[in-house]
């Protein structure tokens, strides 16, 4: 019975996280109606833009691998806090779950912040503000720590530039989803390595 209960709690925690992404998609459509900026107005199934988004993941992954190895005190402390957070998140990471989480985050956050907010702001303000302003909120929503909020905001700006460069929200969705999947895989490995007394990466 304890094992069955743990399994139910594990499944429930995972589904709650996915439900959060679902609510963000609903918010994107609701705010899209309010602002007359549908999240899919600037979406197209372009192979070129998808490949551009996949290639754009490269710099983010390089920074991630540097971050996992750096000895800079503030970043090492932040790295430990991230590993602690995901180790205690309440459910196990499996390959399928990591893929679903990455896809859900990529779709939901990009539809809202790029598809709706950036597109809406761009109508009345210079492009630089359309890229920067939504990512103040994007960073704030990731403000588990001030450093995390700052980093998330910078990553959001990067996604905004991809969106502006392609005019297709598919590009940042692909970048975001692939990066999140890599980050989850790396984090899971770090959790396992820490349990075995090994370096994070």
For the residues 126-142, what does the mean pLDDT come to?
A: 94
Tokens of 153: 């905001």
For the residues 71-83, what does the mean pLDDT come to?
A: 91
Taking each helix axis from N to C end, the angle separating 57-69 and 73-87, rounded to the nearest 10 degrees, works out to 100
Confidence (pLDDT) at 145: 84
- Dist. CA 176–CA 126, nearest whole Å: 24
167: pLDDT strictly greater than 70? yes
Average per-residue pLDDT for the chain: 92
Confidence (pLDDT) at 42: 96
| Contact assessment for residue 169 and residue 42, using Cβ atoms and an 8 Å cutoff | yes
| Band of residue 10 on the pLDDT scale cut at 50, 70, 90 | confident
More confident residue, 168 or 144: 168
- Dist. CA 141–CA 23, nearest whole Å: 14
Burial class (CB in 10 A: 0-12, 13-18, 19+), 2: exposed
Helical residues (DSSP H) of the chain, grouped into ranges: 2-35, 47-55, 57-69, 73-87, 95-110, 119-122, 127-141, 146-166, 170-195
- Dist. CA 60–CA 121, nearest whole Å: 26
Count of beta carbons in the 10 Å neighbourhood of residue 28 = 25
């Amino acid at each position: 019975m304890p094992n069955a209960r743990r399994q139910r709690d594990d499944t429930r925690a995972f589904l709650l996280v996915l439900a959060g992404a679902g609510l963000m998609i609903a918010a994107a459509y609701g705010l899209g109606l309010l602002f007359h900026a549908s999240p899919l107005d600037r979406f197209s199934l372009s192979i070129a833009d998808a490949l551009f988004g996949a290639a754009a993941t490269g710099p983010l992954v390089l920074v991630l691998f540097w971050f996992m190895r750096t000895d800079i005190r503030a970043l090492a402390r932040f790295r430990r806090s991230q590993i602690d957070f995901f180790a205690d998140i309440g459910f196990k990471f499996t390959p399928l779950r990591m893929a679903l989480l990455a896809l859900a985050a990529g779709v939901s956050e990009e539809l809202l912040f790029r598809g709706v907010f950036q597109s809406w702001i761009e109508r009345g303000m210079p492009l630089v503000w359309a890229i920067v302003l939504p990512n103040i909120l994007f960073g704030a929503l990731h403000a588990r720590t001030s450093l995390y909020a700052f980093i998330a905001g910078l990553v959001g700006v990067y996604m905004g530039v991809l969106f502006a460069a392609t005019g297709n929200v598919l590009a940042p969705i692909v970048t975001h989803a692939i990066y999140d999947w890599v980050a989850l895989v790396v984090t899971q490995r770090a959790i396992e390595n820490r349990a075995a007394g090994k370096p994070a990466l």
